[in-house]
Structure 1
Amino acid sequence: MSWSRPRAAAFRPVRAGALALATVLAATTLAACGSGADEQPTGSADAAAGFPVTLKNVFGETTIEKKPERIVTLGWNAQDVVYALGETPVGMPKVTYGPTKEGVTAWDADKFDATRTTLLDAGDSYPFEKIAALKPDVILAPYEGFDETVYKTLSGIAPTVAYPWAPWQTTWQDQTTLIGKALGKSSEADQLITGIKDRIAKVASEHPEFKDKTIAVGSFGPENYVYMPGDPRVQILNEMGFKNAPGVDKLETTNTKKEFALTISKEKVSEIDADVLVDGLTAAKFNADPVYSALGSVKKGSAYLMEDQQVISGMSAVSVLSVPWVLDQILPGLSKAAQAAQAAS
């Protein structure tokens, strides 16, 4: 399973035909049978918390009339922010890549309560009926990849906070800000962002070997993905002091659709080589391949290969909860790779 696979939902085709139509109708009908919260007047407590609030997204805008009590999250990171803000979702996606035995991420394990939160199987399709049955007041999906058809269906169930501009490219800061506004906890969200920024700044100061080292983040194997500067896992490394390899910046100029990752042929992998190469392929497979083993970063020992699925997931799903957890896991290996690059320069 390559590093890109957990995010295969970004390339998921929209279901069509009678099945899709039946799903839409079922979801809309269930939503119409909800609590009728939209008809209730907004109380003074809601007004004090900043409601109603309108949030823009790539499809338009969403208005949340009152403070949500029943929260459903979709995508990778929304539940992390919800937990960090002291709330508990009634529904969130089941983790299938690097999960704990409960089916959640390692950094959510101490917060997840199966009696309060339903895990949703959203791997290949969206479980509209199950989402609607939870009677959510809001659906939080600021880091997702669905299209407008799915957005409209979800919005028929509850106000849906979608991604603001491009699939899978909402920064961890913007995710936190959007969810904070949606839950009436903007001040607390700002504090979370400041805390993580301070932690990253501390990492940068404690690891001068990261500063200005070029980096490329990929997923190599049957297909070769290169993650673009807009991808949060690349952004977090930039924030730690790394800069993108020239080959990555050049590839970004061809990224007209602003995708979070682009595929390249195996023969062109050398064009995105960097001082430090980060990948989720096992070391044995990587070093056994004549193309990958010939890379300069591999020869000088500055390729950082992550083999643990939970660590890979933590690097991929950047959030206010995953960052502290994953930094503890990756810093020793990442520092070793950066030092090897420094010694070879």
Structure 2
Amino acid sequence: MRVRAPLTLLAAVPLALGVLSGCGSAAGEAETASGGGATDGAFPVSIEHAFGTTTIEEEPERVVVLGWSAQDTPYALGVTPVGMPSYSYGGGDDGLLPWNEEDFDPAATTLLDNTDGPPLEAIAALRPDVILAPYDGFEAAVYEDLSGIAPTVAYPGEPWTTPWREQTRMIGQALGRTADAERLITETDARVGAIAAEHPEFEGLTFAYTSMGAESLYLYLPTDPRVQLIEDLGFTVAPSVEELGADSGSTFYAQLSLERAADIDSDVIVGFADGLSAEEVAALPVYAGVPALERDAAVLIDDEGFGAAVSSVSVLSIPYVLEQLVDALAVAAQKASS
């Protein structure tokens, strides 16, 4: 069985502030660190993960990636995967996420339908030298099946919680490009840090990352990479988040009863409008007592394209996200402080 992230991860409209179009510049915003190949002496390399240790004996030439955003780091490192996920959510008619369109070559890369888990036959047909899945949620039996096809690097801890920096390092190590991966991390951190410095008003404001619908309410926990990116901009996770999620039984989200909505006490809310527009969610009586919504200090996401972007935190998606998200966060912060 595959552990799935809730698919209420849709793109952005700030409440009462206009619409985030989700159509900013896509590829080309992030720096790439593509050298001439793997570093001398990089192989063999052994990488630890949730199911043990995988040893890659030599530089892989045929790379398959699985899980959200796993293709981004190889592309940024100058490596074209032979197989990568097709994204029905946020990927449009072609199954591609916007920031991958410039790099994707249909003659070189097969899109894989992961709807029901990794498609083992299709993956085997690609004859991969390695399978990389640092941000996924499959269980041990699936890992064993994948390992029967090629050496497989799975996620290192709990499902769907690998921070983007660790994803980048793992893939860089597997491809023999550790130094280039570190350079990508440094450049991305500098970009995020510069934005945080430009917005000192973010510092000290608390936030909650949510998914709000007419019949469901989710709260994302500090282990989720989406939450961590907002923290990197200077915001602080509201104490109510950890209190409400303490007994969730999940590693990265808590499902709350709708009656608990007003207990989400934060200066700002960031998150998803589940199955409705942002305005429709804000108008639902069940959310009338949520403090940040009462102040209009919220950025709710109801467009799939941008929702996929904020849910795929990577060295390529972060510039795409920040270009569209930061101004809305600034307005929400102003509302929270007024």
Say yes or no: TM over 0.5. yes
Higher helix share: 1
- Counterpart secondary structure, 1:115: coil
Residues 227 and 262 of structure 1 are in contact (CA less than 8 Å); yes or no, is this contact kept in structure 2? Answer: yes
Query: How far apart are the structure 2 equivalents of 1:248 and 1:285?
Result: 23
Query: How far apart are the structure 2 equivalents of 1:77 and 1:314?
Result: 9
Matched, 1:61 2:56: no
Greater mean alpha carbon deviation, residues 137-146 or residues 245-254: 245-254
Matched, 1:106 2:101: no
Give the drift of 1:252.
4.0
Matched, 1:5 2:7: yes
What is the total number of aligned residue pairs between the two structures? 303
Query: How far apart are the structure 1 equivalents of 2:238 and 2:226?
Result: 15
Give the drift of 1:47.
8.2
Map 1:1-345 → 2, pairs under 5 A: 4-5=6-7, 48-221=40-213, 222-255=215-248, 257-281=249-273, 282-343=277-338
- C-alpha deviations, 1:168-217, integer Å up to 9, x for none? 00000000000000000000000000001001110110011111111000
Query: How far apart are the structure 1 equivalents of 2:220 and 2:141?
Result: 26
Give the drift of 1:295.
1.6
Residues 219 and 245 of structure 2 are in contact (CA less than 8 Å); yes or no, is this contact kept in structure 1? Answer: no
Distance 1:225 1:108, change over 3 A: same
Query: How far apart are the structure 1 equivalents of 2:266 and 2:39?
Result: 51
Give the drift of 1:307.
2.1
Residues 6 and 97 of structure 1 are in contact (CA less than 8 Å); yes or no, is this contact kept in structure 2? Answer: no
More contact order relative to length (CA 8 Å, sep ≥ 6): 2
- C-alpha deviations, 1:21-72, integer Å up to 9, x for none? xxxxxxxxxxxxxxxxxxxxxxxx9782410100001111100010000000
Give the drift of 1:167.
0.2
Give the drift of 1:294.
2.9
Give the drift of 1:288.
2.3
Distance 1:192 1:226, change over 3 A: same
Give the drift of 1:91.
0.3
Q: Unaligned regions of 5+ residues in structure 2, if any?
A: 10-36
Distance 1:46 1:319, change over 3 A: closer
Residues 166 and 258 of structure 1 are in contact (CA less than 8 Å); yes or no, is this contact kept in structure 2? Answer: no
Distance 1:158 1:321, change over 3 A: same
- Counterpart secondary structure, 1:220: strand
Larger radius of gyration: 1
Query: How far apart are the structure 2 equivalents of 1:252 and 1:100?
Result: 33
- Counterpart secondary structure, 2:114: coil
1:168 partner letter: W
Greater mean alpha carbon deviation, residues 273-282 or residues 185-194: 273-282
Distance 1:250 1:294, change over 3 A: closer
TM (normalized to structure 1)?
0.85
2:6 partner letter: S
1:5 partner letter: L
Greater mean alpha carbon deviation, residues 228-237 or residues 263-272: 263-272
Give the drift of 1:251.
2.9
Query: How far apart are the structure 2 equivalents of 1:179 and 1:153?
Result: 20
Residues 97 and 313 of structure 1 are in contact (CA less than 8 Å); yes or no, is this contact kept in structure 2? Answer: yes
Query: How far apart are the structure 1 equivalents of 2:108 and 2:286?
Result: 49
Greater mean alpha carbon deviation, residues 307-316 or residues 195-204: 307-316
Q: Unaligned regions of 5+ residues in structure 1, if any?
A: 8-44
Give the drift of 1:224.
1.2
Residues 54 and 152 of structure 2 are in contact (CA less than 8 Å); yes or no, is this contact kept in structure 1? Answer: yes
Query: How far apart are the structure 2 equivalents of 1:298 and 1:259?
Result: 26
Query: How far apart are the structure 2 equivalents of 1:76 and 1:55?
Result: 20
Give the drift of 1:124.
1.9
1:266 partner letter: L
1:339 partner letter: Q
